[in-house]
A and B are shown apart, each in its own frame.
Chain A
Amino acid sequence: MTRVAGTLFFLTAVGAALFLFFIKQQVREMEEELGIAHRNILRHQEAIQVLRTEWSYLNRPARIAELAERHLAMQPLVARQFVGFEEIPYRSAGAALPAPAQATAQATAQTATLTAATLTAAAQTARAGGAAP
């Protein structure tokens, strides 16, 4: 009985020691990994910071304005281009629609943006078409 208990205690102690050793080893390895990860994070953060700065530098309004002028057929938005919902004409029943070809030509001739001028023109055509017959 005594001997059995003693052996049992001894084995437990050895087991615990081994367990502790392996856990400790594992922790050390993981800490090393963590250190590497931290260094990587720092390196990437610095790289991101450099890229963010470059992004900000490339987005200088003066440069964007120049690029837009060179590559885009667009103009600054003017107040006339904003139209409220109430100003968009309803299609009245039975009224002749404006000829699609004409309308498209008009739209492309200006820009792709829906301008107030085209809308009023469309409304006038619609009204004129309705009155003609």
Chain B
Amino acid sequence: MTRQFEQSSLNLRPPAPDPNPDRAAHFFSEGCSAQVLETGRTRLLAAGVVFTMAFLVVGWRLVDIAVFSAGTEPRIAAAPAATPRSGRADIVDRNGVVLATSLPTASLYANAKQVRDPEAAAARLVQVLPDLSRSEVAAKLATGRRFIWLKRNLTPRQHYRINRLGIPGFYFEREQRRFYPHGNLTAHSVGFTDVDNRGLSGIERSFDEVLRDRGTPLALSLDLRVQYAMTEELSAAMTEFDAIGAAGMVMDVASGEVLAMVSLPSFDPERPGAAPADSRFNRASLGIYEMGSVFKIFTVAMALDEGVVTLESGYDTSKPIRVARFTINDYHGKNRWLSVPEIFMYSSNIGAARMAIDTGTAAQRSFLDRLGLTRPASIELREVGTPMLPSPWREINTMTIAYGHGLAVSPVQFTTAAAAVVNGGRFQPATLLKRAPVARSADARSEGTRIMDRATSLKMRRLLRLVVRRGTGRQANAEGYLVGGKTGTADKLVGGRYARNTRIASFLGAFPMNAPRYVVFVMVDEPKGIERTRGYATGGWVAAPVVRAVIERIGPMLGVAPVRADAEQDDGEGLLVQVRTRIQTVAVD
């Protein structure tokens, strides 16, 4: 091409003088021809310059792309931060302890056509896998089939040792299997999967899609140490009082994070089929119960918040209330005028019922609504119980709900509501997922929806502390941790009637009461009275000691600084004053 170009430029040179001047004159005169050639040359030059420029630009751009700017291609190859793992993501607790994981396992199969000596192969194999029968394996290998399962899901050690045997005709098939290193400790909240690794309950079920897609572990709010402490203390109480079940919760009042969620009896998540349905039932989130006197927390908080009573008001509790065919009586009757703190401290049903009537049915309903007690808990589980509400909600229901009968809620709902009462009056939905730490201001002001005055919450803290210092909850007093709480004993409905000797003993505790950080809820299902407790099986005797033991164990773990017994500022004495405002009995009929 270059050569052609040169040739063409050669042609453009001025022509040599014509050797034959006689022939016909040129079409153009001599001067004219020179001018044309000149024009052509100029045009060619211009075109050449343009082309050269264009080539230069393209060339420069090439160099620019290839050498200088590497475009979007990174200059330094970087490994992806977390190489995505194949298989279902792990579930870990808040400290990163593995609660559920998928492991590749090898399953052993044989191609019997390639096994030369079935007897010898079987003899060597049972040395590694002693649970296999030698004769059976030999018989299987002698059939001459191409594919025989010998053992599914080997441990890595077995895998290695079988490999070392070097028997021809033995092969491994890789499979994924879900493992739960902590077994039944977190079985209800973590849940379990089926053989194809599909979540069937708990977090495994509610986060099934998420776990399948993500490569990084899913961190739960649970703290395994707290979970263990709660499980151990609960099962000790269950054994001692011969109970049929128990549930326990520990919750961070500011963030709503569940640190422990225990439901007993538990089951092995790797063999869920072997457990009875009762063990798989999550009493903490799916079970709904009439909670009994622990509900007075909400009654008193409501009456204080609505301004119906003050800490100095009081009610006459000397006579039982008779409404229609019901009689409301006191368990620890004092038969006199009791102030609001006394009603709470001695757990007077009569006082609570009167307080609720004075506040009104509509107000009670809206208050319980705000505390989330009238709708299923919003925790990340599918196993969530729907509360049982009275319908219609009459005045008699208002009175019985005041002391925790006639409205059944799940322990999760109850604990969440109680956390809102002590944390400064903000409702924070319960969560099983770890949250970024919230600013630990005294009351976590920025969090949650306000459901009551801060002042009411502060009064409730003093009242709850009073119950533990001087009232029915004395056995929950963990030294140094300023425990506050409320006992509850509810008769269970058996065949539509309240049975006297089947009951639920519960205790709701919070600590430390000067700036509550955690609520602890314990519920024991059908405890029987024993000699040590003089035949009592009430919340104060059964559940309160569990709460004390749990708080004593988890307090140091959770970094709650203990307070010396003599350094507690408010001894609750100030709450126990003579009744100043006597609220006369409202006629009930």
User: At the interface, yes or no: B562 with Cβ under 8 Å from chain A?
Assistant: yes
26 contacts between A and B (CB under 8 A): A2-B2, A2-B6, A45-B83, A45-B85, A46-B104, A49-B101, A50-B103, A52-B98, A53-B103, A55-B98, A56-B182, A57-B181, A60-B182, A60-B185, A61-B224, A61-B228, A62-B232, A78-B479, A78-B480, A78-B552, A79-B480, A79-B481, A79-B555, A82-B480, A82-B561, A84-B564
Q: How far is the CA of A76 from the CA of B225 in the complex (A)?
A: 13
> Which chain B residues border A2 with CB–CB below 8 Å?
2-3, 6
> Which chain B residues border A79 with CB–CB below 8 Å?
478-481, 552, 555, 562
Q: With both chains docked as a complex, state the minimum distance between the C-beta of A84 and any C-beta of chain B, in angstroms.
A: 8
Q: Mark B535-554, 1 if CB is under 8 A from A, else 0.
A: 00000000000000000110
| Residue contact A76 to B553, C-beta cutoff 8 Å | yes
The interface centre, meaning the residue of B183, B225, B556 with most chain A CB atoms within 10 A of its CB, is B556
Q: How far is the CA of A78 from the CA of B564 in the complex (A)?
A: 12
The interface centre, meaning the residue of A5, A42, A56, A82 with most chain B CB atoms within 10 A of its CB, is A56
Q: With both chains docked as a complex, state the minimum distance between the C-beta of A37 and any C-beta of chain B, in angstroms.
A: 10
Q: How far is the CA of A49 from the CA of B228 in the complex (A)?
A: 24
> Which chain A residues border B552 with CB–CB below 8 Å?
76, 78-79
> Which chain B residues border A41 with CB–CB below 8 Å?
83
> Which chain B residues border A49 with CB–CB below 8 Å?
85, 101, 103
Look across to chain B and name the residue whose beta carbon is closest to the beta carbon of A2. B3
> Which chain A residues border B390 with CB–CB below 8 Å?
none
Q: Mark B555-571, 1 if CB is under 8 A from A, else 0.
A: 11000011010000000
Q: How far is the CA of A62 from the CA of B104 in the complex (A)?
A: 27
Q: Mark A61-98, 1 if CB is under 8 A from B, else 0.
A: 11000000000000011111010100100000000000
> Which chain B residues border A124 with CB–CB below 8 Å?
none
* CB contact under 8 A between A53 and B179, given known A61-B224, A61-B228, A80-B479: yes
Q: How far is the CA of A53 from the CA of B104 in the complex (A)?
A: 12
| Residue contact B182 to A53, C-beta cutoff 8 Å | no
Interface majority SS on A: helix, strand, loop or mixed?
helix
Q: With both chains docked as a complex, state the minimum distance between the C-beta of A6 and any C-beta of chain B, in angstroms.
A: 9
Q: With both chains docked as a complex, state the minimum distance between the C-beta of B316 and any C-beta of chain A, in angstroms.
A: 41
Q: How many chain A residues touch B (Cβ–Cβ < 8 Å)?
A: 26
User: At the interface, yes or no: A59 with Cβ under 8 Å from chain B?
Assistant: yes
Q: With both chains docked as a complex, state the minimum distance between the C-beta of A16 and any C-beta of chain B, in angstroms.
A: 13
| Residue contact A62 to B555, C-beta cutoff 8 Å | no
| Residue contact B101 to A52, C-beta cutoff 8 Å | yes
> Which chain B residues border A52 with CB–CB below 8 Å?
98, 101
Residues of A within 8 A of B (CB): 2, 5, 41-42, 45-46, 49-50, 52-57, 59-62, 76-80, 82, 84, 87
> Which chain A residues border B232 with CB–CB below 8 Å?
62
With contacts A2-B3, A55-B98, A79-B480 known, what are 15 further pairs, Cβ within 8 A? Answer: A5-B2, A46-B104, A49-B103, A53-B103, A56-B97, A60-B181, A60-B185, A62-B232, A76-B553, A77-B556, A80-B479, A80-B480, A82-B562, A84-B564, A87-B564
> Which chain B residues border A78 with CB–CB below 8 Å?
479-480, 552
Q: With both chains docked as a complex, state the minimum distance between the C-beta of A3 and any C-beta of chain B, in angstroms.
A: 11
Q: Mark B50-80, 1 if CB is under 8 A from A, else 0.
A: 0000000000000000000000000000000
> Which chain A residues border B99 with CB–CB below 8 Å?
56
User: At the interface, yes or no: B40 with Cβ under 8 Å from chain A?
Assistant: no
Q: With both chains docked as a complex, state the minimum distance between the C-beta of B171 and any C-beta of chain A, in angstroms.
A: 19
> Which chain A residues border B224 with CB–CB below 8 Å?
61
Q: With both chains docked as a complex, state the minimum distance between the C-beta of A4 and any C-beta of chain B, in angstroms.
A: 12
User: At the interface, yes or no: B156 with Cβ under 8 Å from chain A?
Assistant: yes
Look across to chain A and name the residue whose beta carbon is closest to the beta carbon of B105. A50
> Which chain A residues border B2 with CB–CB below 8 Å?
2, 5
Q: With both chains docked as a complex, state the minimum distance between the C-beta of A41 and any C-beta of chain B, in angstroms.
A: 6
Q: With both chains docked as a complex, state the minimum distance between the C-beta of B46 and any C-beta of chain A, in angstroms.
A: 25
From B85, B98, B228, B564, A56 is in contact (CB under 8 Å) with B98
Q: Mark B500-520, 1 if CB is under 8 A from A, else 0.
A: 000000000000000000000
> Which chain A residues border B562 with CB–CB below 8 Å?
79, 82
The 10 closest A-B pairs by CB, nearest first: A79-B480, A79-B562, A61-B228, A56-B98, A57-B181, A56-B181, A77-B556, A82-B562, A79-B479, A53-B101
> Which chain B residues border A46 with CB–CB below 8 Å?
103-104
Q: With both chains docked as a complex, state the minimum distance between the C-beta of B238 and any C-beta of chain A, in angstroms.
A: 16
From A42, A59, A80, B97 is in contact (CB under 8 Å) with A59
> Which chain B residues border A57 with CB–CB below 8 Å?
181-182
Q: With both chains docked as a complex, state the minimum distance between the C-beta of B546 and any C-beta of chain A, in angstroms.
A: 16
Q: With both chains docked as a complex, state the minimum distance between the C-beta of B18 and any C-beta of chain A, in angstroms.
A: 31
> Which chain A residues border B479 with CB–CB below 8 Å?
78-80
